Each structure stands twice: as C-alpha cells, then as structure tokens.
C-alpha cells in the first residue's frame, strides 16, 4: 500500500490479526509496517496512516540518522581515534594476537596509527582490546599525575578508580575516593591535568566555592582555558568510542 506525504511516495506493509489496536512500526531497514485488527477496513487504515504521515517521516529520519552514526563508530581500518589530544588512524591486524599475547600488548602506536592485534575479525575483540589498552593508559596517566600534584597538596587519598562514564569526567566522594573517566586519556595532557587537579582540590573543598576555584587556580593559573576546551570538545570525546 502507498502513502503520499509532501511529495514523498512511501510504501507500507499491512499485517492484520486479532489484535485490538493499530500500530505503526518503522523496521530496521526503514520499511513501514502497519499492524491492525482484522475488523478494520483498509480505507480506515489508510486514513489513520495518512494522519500519522508526519510522525512516520520523522521517525524514519531519526532511525536513519542513528544507523549512520552507529556505522560511523564501527571499528574498522582508517577509523579516527584520539590519544592525548592527537588524532590517530586505526589499523586492525588479524591473526597476530596470540603471538603477541605473552610478550607485548595487543595494542600499540606506530607513528600516527593505533594498531590493534586480534585473533579474528570481530568487532567485539577489537573493541575489548582497544578499551583495555585505553583503560591501562588512563590508569598510568592518572596515577602519575595525582602523585605529581599531591606533592603540593599533600592530601590523603583513599582510592583511585578508572570508570566508564558518559557524563562525568571525574568525581570526588566524601570518603576521599577519586573517580576518573577513562576517556581522559583522549584529551590533551593539559586538559587531563585540569580534570585531575579539579578532583584533587575537592579533597579540600567538597563544593565549587570561591575558595575551591582559588585552590585550582593556585595550581593551574590557566585552568579556565582547559575547562573551556573540555566544554567545547568533551561531547566529541565521549562519542569517539
């Protein structure tokens, strides 16, 4: 069956059964499926579908956009990645992971390329190896930088954890636990330092009072530019992988 809307000609499939209501579904291939009760006439179904045409077009566009974004995040050769603020190109080498497992990491940097070694062509294995490497790089960076800045702050830290978060770059609890997003390793070193110092200053001021910001500025006089960079580019880093 056909549907006309703002110059677009859209076909839809009709599936009638002993259901009680009409439902319009946009399937993964963007095809339109209308499910309707047996007793409802095709004319009535057509009228209802035409009434919902605007909604159908919007939902198809949203699904198509989502699929495009998901495909752009596929981990394949040439995919752009970041490491400490610099762009790199991904290269996947299959069948080499077992050889490197005992002696080397499954991920390494060569020039402007991040190489991931896998046993087989599997998105899951590529993702696992890459994320494990990012976690380890973030852990090393954060432990080194917290140690560096604590030479000045001299605050007791209960625990440092590296976490996978989609909204926070770091946090500090009342129990003196510091949490950091592993994606900090994607940002430039000075921005990563800002995140580390920000959370460490919360060990003294568990708020964002003028005293807190004065503490941050005393350690990083140019922190405002790093904070602005994170505001402008943080979402991009959150979506890289």
16 and 118 fall within a common domain: no
Q: Give the chain's domain count.
A: 2
62 and 94 fall within a common domain: no
58 and 95 fall within a common domain: no
8 A C-beta contact, residue 108 and residue 146: no
64 and 101 fall within a common domain: no
Q: Which CATH number goes with the domain that contains 197? A: 3.30.2010.10
For the chain, the farthest-separated pair of C-alpha atoms sits apart, in whole angstroms, at 78
138 and 164 fall within a common domain: yes
Mean pLDDT (whole number) for 48-65:
88
Domain that holds residue 32: 2-72
Q: What is the pLDDT of residues 129-181, one digit of tens each?
A: 999 999 999 999 999 999 999 999 999 999 999 998 878 999 999 999 999 99
101 and 137 fall within a common domain: yes
Instruction: Indicate the burial class of 102 (C-beta count within 10 angstroms; 0-12, 13-18, 19 or more).
Output: exposed
* Last-in-domain residue among 72, 89, 116: 72
Instruction: Indicate the burial class of 70 (C-beta count within 10 angstroms; 0-12, 13-18, 19 or more).
Output: exposed
Q: What is the pLDDT of residues 116-138, one digit of tens each?
A: 998 877 888 888 899 999 999 99
68 and 86 fall within a common domain: no
What's the pTM? 0.69
* Last-in-domain residue among 72, 98, 130: 72
**Residue 236 clears pLDDT 90, i.e. is over it:** no
Query: How many percent of the chain have pLDDT more than 70?
Result: 93
60 and 91 fall within a common domain: no
**Residue 72 clears pLDDT 60, i.e. is over it:** no
8 A C-beta contact, residue 217 and residue 205: no
221 and 110 fall within a common domain: yes
**Residue 103: per-residue pLDDT:** 41
64 and 176 fall within a common domain: no
Compute φ and ψ for 231, nearest 5 degrees.
-65, -35
48 and 95 fall within a common domain: no
126 and 156 fall within a common domain: yes
Query: How many Cβ atoms are within 10 Å of 175's Cβ, its own excluded?
Result: 7
* Last-in-domain residue among 35, 53, 72: 72
Please report which confidence band the pLDDT of residue 110 belongs to, taking 50, 70 and 90 as the band edges.
very high
């Amino acid at each position: 069956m056909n549907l006309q809307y703002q110059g677009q000609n859209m076909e839809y499939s009709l599936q009638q059964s002993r259901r009680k209501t009409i439902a319009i579904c946009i399937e993964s291939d963007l095809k339109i499926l209308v499910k309707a009760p047996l007793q409802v006439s095709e004319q009535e179904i057509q009228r209802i579908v035409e009434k919902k045409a605007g909604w159908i077009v919007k939902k198809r566009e949203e699904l198509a956009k989502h699929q495009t974004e998901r495909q752009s995040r596929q981990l394949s050769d040439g995919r752009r990645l970041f490491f400490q603020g610099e762009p790199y190109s991904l290269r996947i080498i299959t069948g080499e992971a077992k050889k490197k497992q005992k002696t080397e990491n499954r991920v390494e940097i060569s020039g402007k390329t991040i190489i991931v070694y896998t046993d087989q062509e599997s998105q899951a294995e590529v993702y696992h190896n890459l994320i494990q490497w990012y976690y380890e790089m973030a852990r090393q960076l954060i432990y080194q930088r917290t140690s560096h800045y604590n030479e000045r702050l001299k605050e007791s830290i209960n625990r440092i954890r590296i976490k996978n978060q989609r909204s926070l770059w770091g946090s500090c609890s009342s129990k003196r636990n510091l949490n950091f997003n592993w994606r900090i390793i994607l940002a430039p070193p000075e921005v990563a330092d800002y995140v580390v110092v920000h959370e460490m200053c919360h060990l003294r001021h568990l708020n964002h009072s003028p005293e807190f910001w004065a503490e941050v500025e005393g350690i990083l006089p140019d922190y405002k530019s790093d904070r602005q960079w994170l505001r402008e580019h943080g979402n991009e880093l959150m979506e890289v992988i």
